[in-house]
Each structure stands twice: as C-alpha cells, then as structure tokens.
Amino acid sequence: MTKRIFNFSAGPATLPEEVLTEARDNLLSLGDLGAGIMEISHRSPEFDAIIDGAEAGIRRLLGLTDDWAVLFLQGGASTQFTMVPQNLGADADYVLTGAWSEKALKEAQKLGSPRVAASSKETNFDRLPTELDLRADARFVHVTSNNTIFGTQFREVPQTQAPLVCDASSDILSRPLDLSRYAMIYAGAQKNLGPSGVTLVIMRKSLLERSPKSLPTMLNYNTHVEKGSRFNTPPTFGIYFIGLVTQWIEAQGGLAAMDQRNQAKAQQLYDAIDGIDLYQGTVQPESRSLMNVTFKLTDASREGEFLSQAKARGLHGLKGHRSVGGVRASIYNAMPVAGVEALVGFMREFAGA
Ligand SMILES: *Cc1c(COP(=O)(O)O)cnc(C)c1O
C-alpha cells in the first residue's frame, strides 16, 4: 500500500483516491485496448467517448442546457484572464476580492478601459465587498467566486444585469449553482477537478457572436466550440481525469451532497478556530470560504512549530500564502472528512485545549 498524507495544498491539490487508482489502472492499458490513456489519438473513437463523457458529466452535474458550450482548454485560468476581454470586450466591471481578480483586471486593462465595481483591498481582502457599483451596459461583470489566497467566498454570486463571468477555479463543482446568474464560468482544473494543464470553460453560446474575427485562432472561443475542444491536441489525460471526477461526484450524491459535506467540513474547522484562544480566523465570518480556511496563531512565535508538528503527523501543505502568512487549510471536494478531523484533533492538542 502506498502511504498517503492528508494534503491541504491549495493547488495542485489532493484528488479522490478512487479516481487516482482508476486512472493508474488505465495508464498502461485503457480497458483492454493495450495502449494507455496518454498514448491514444485525440481523434480516436476511444478518446471521443472520453471527452463526450467528461462533457456529459459536467452538463449533468450543473444542469447545463444546449444553449451552453462546454470547453476544455489550455493555458490555465490565467489565459482566461485575457481571453475573456479579448472575446467579450474589455469595457467591463471587475469586482476585486484578491490577487486573482487583480490579475484578471490587469489583463483587461491592456485591452481597454475596465472599471473596478468594488474592492476590499483596503482591508487586505479580509471580506467580500458588499456595495457593488455595477453598470447595466458593461460588456460583462467579472467576479472570483472563491478567493483561494485570502479564503473568502461568495455564498451566492451577485445578481447582475450585464453578463456575469466567474473565475471559479477554486470552488467549481463544490456546490449547486443558480445558473440563471451566470453567463460564463471558467476554472483551472488543479484545485477541484483534476490535474493541472486543463481549464474548464462553460459559456452561454449567445456570447460567441461577440468574438472579433481578428483574434488569434487559439484565443477565439469559436475555434474551440466549432471543433469540440479538438482544434489542436487537447490535454487528453486531464480531460479523462475530469470525466472520472464527475462520475465520482455523482457517486457521492451530486453537488448538493458535495455542498453538505463541504459545509460540515468547514464548520468543524471554523468551530475550532473560534473556540480555541490560540487561533484566530483571518477573514470576517460572513465572507468565509468553505474551500480555503485561513487563520493565524495568536502567538505568532509558535507558527513554525505548529506547521512542523502538523507535518510530522501527516498533515501537509498548511502554510499560508506568502501574501497573508499564517495557516491555510485547503479542503476541496476530495479532502476526506477524516483529514479535517485529524487537523482539528491536532489543533486542539497543540493548543492544549
Ligand atoms: C489557482 C487560481 C488561478 C490560477 O490558475 P492557473 O491555472 O494557474 O492559471 C486563478 N484563479 C483562481 C481563483 C485560482 O484559485
């Protein structure tokens, strides 16, 4: 048996063990094909079935109708920061909740004159902004649903008149979504969906007519919609893996069950943070993320010791992002309840509580 730690890394992050095992079994031979999943043509009938299955899994989980396109692209969420304004227009409203939304804004600024509709930078992004100054005629409104670094999350994204574009890299498929609020959702896979190297893009087909013909072929969404994400060689292994993850989520009971489990996991951690004097949450309670739980030690001099003792217990990846410090426990879909329980047990013991 391979020894596995509880991996609280923010991304690439822990993946469901059942899925890893199944993927491993198909590395040498996909079923009885005699060639592994990474070795077959992206134009083969075997791969057609895999990409169709992954798309169908995403469609079933989110309840997407035919007026939505599902794409598997490359270049990470960071490439979407520029593709979105290149295709939809840059005169957009951005809600700033941390480093990722700032990076997204910066890409739009290279292309036009986006506006900042709200920002919580003044308080070092320790909360979500409440007052949004949104224009009905903005090309789109951009939000980051879950701020991976600071640990804030919109429980519900804002209702907007302009089309809402959401970077959901760190909470995609963690809960059911009210699709009526969204025009487009994108997510790098490496937090909640699978390995790095594939980016899921879900968009209303009605947006496609906006893309200027002058765009580089690879940066135009129409290219990928027309070719079913196979204009060039797609990240075949990542797409395969996402398909397995959608099946795994369905076997867990779907997005509502995922959400319940995620809420219970986060609650256990926040209860420990609020109930033990040594710990203090770094985010205002109403803005807390269910995916990335951030806190610090009230005695900062013990932080190094906290992290090294945790690691010795098999609790890895807990060091906070360099821009926030402290501790960050990333508890995406694939983090088992037992991992959170082990962390909470360690926190109590370390604090002598
Ligand atoms: C990790 C992350 C990104 C960056 O994704 P890449 O795939 O590395 O480009 C962007 N946005 C959010 C919210 C993230 O968590």
**Of the residues 74, 106, 148, which should be mutated to test ligand 1's pocket, given the most ligand atoms within 8 Å of the CB?**
148
* 120 Cβ closer than 6 Å to some ligand 1 atom: no
Report how far ligand 1's centroid is from the alpha carbon of 231 (Å).
24
Q: Which of 68, 126, 171, 191 is catalytic?
A: 191
Q: What percent of the chain has pLDDT over 90?
A: 98
What pLDDT does residue 323 have? 87
Q: What is the pLDDT of residue 189?
A: 98
Mean pLDDT of 294-310: 97
The Cα 148–Cα 157 span in angstroms is 16
Section 12-27 average pLDDT: 97
> How do residues 191-249 score in pLDDT, each as one tens digit?
999 999 999 999 999 999 999 999 999 999 999 999 999 999 999 999 999 999 999 99
Residue 348 Cα, ligand 1 centroid: separation in angstroms? 32
Q: Is the pLDDT of residue 17 over 70?
A: yes
Considering only CA atoms, which of 319, 264, 331, 348 is closest in space to residue 293? 331
What is the average pLDDT value for the chain, to the nearest integer? 97
Residue 191 CA, ligand 1 centroid: distance in Å: 9
The residue to mutate among 9, 78, 324, having the most atoms of ligand 1 within 8 angstroms of its beta carbon, is: 78
Instruction: Specify the ligand 1 atom closest to the Cα of 78.
Output: 9
Question: How much is the pLDDT for 247?
Answer: 98
Does the annotation count 167 as an active-site position?
Answer: yes
332 lines ligand 1 (CB under 6 A): no
Percent of the chain at pLDDT above 70? 100
Cα of 167 vs centre of ligand 1, distance in Å, is 8
pLDDT of 118-177, one tens digit each? 999 999 999 999 899 999 999 999 999 999 999 999 999 999 999 999 999 999 999 999
CB 169 less than 6 A from any atom of ligand 1:
yes
Å from CA of 76 to ligand 1 middle: 7
Q: How confident is the model at residue 28 (pLDDT cuts 50, 70, 90)?
A: very high
Sequence-distant contacts of 153-162: CB under 8 A, at least 24 apart? 153/128, 153/287, 153/288, 153/289, 153/290, 153/291, 153/292, 154/128, 156/181, 157/181, 157/182, 158/95, 158/132, 158/134, 160/134, 161/134, 161/136, 162/92, 162/93, 162/134, 162/135, 162/136, 162/137, 162/138
In the reported structure, the alpha carbon of residue 122 is separated from the centroid of ligand 1 by a whole-number distance in angstroms of 22
52-108: pLDDT as tens digits: 999 999 999 999 999 999 999 999 999 999 999 999 999 999 999 999 999 999 999
pLDDT of residue 153: 98
**pLDDT range class, residue 1, cuts 50, 70, 90:** low
Neighbours of 87 (CB within 10 A): 22
Helix (H) or strand (E) holding 95: strand 93-96
Q: Considering only CA atoms, which residue is closest to atom 4 of ligand 1?
A: 77
Please state the rounded mean pLDDT for residues 271-278: 98
pLDDT in the model for residue 353: 79
Cα of 242 vs centre of ligand 1, distance in Å, is 17
In the annotation, is 191 catalytic?
yes
Ligand 1 contact, 82 CB (< 6 A):
no
Q: Measured from the CB, is residue 148 less than 6 Å from ligand 1?
A: yes
201 lines ligand 1 (CB under 6 A): no
* Atom 12 of ligand 1, nearest CA residue: 169
What span, in angstroms and rounded, lies between the C-alpha atoms of 247 and 58?
9
Is residue 336 predicted with pLDDT exceeding 80?
yes
152 Cβ inside 6 Å of ligand 1: no
Average pLDDT over residues 243-262: 98
Q: How confident is the model at residue 23 (pLDDT cuts 50, 70, 90)?
A: very high
Angstrom distance (rounded) from CA 20 to CA 195:
10
Q: What is the mean pLDDT of residues 9-17?
A: 97
- Tell me the pLDDT band of 252, cut-offs 50, 70 and 90: very high
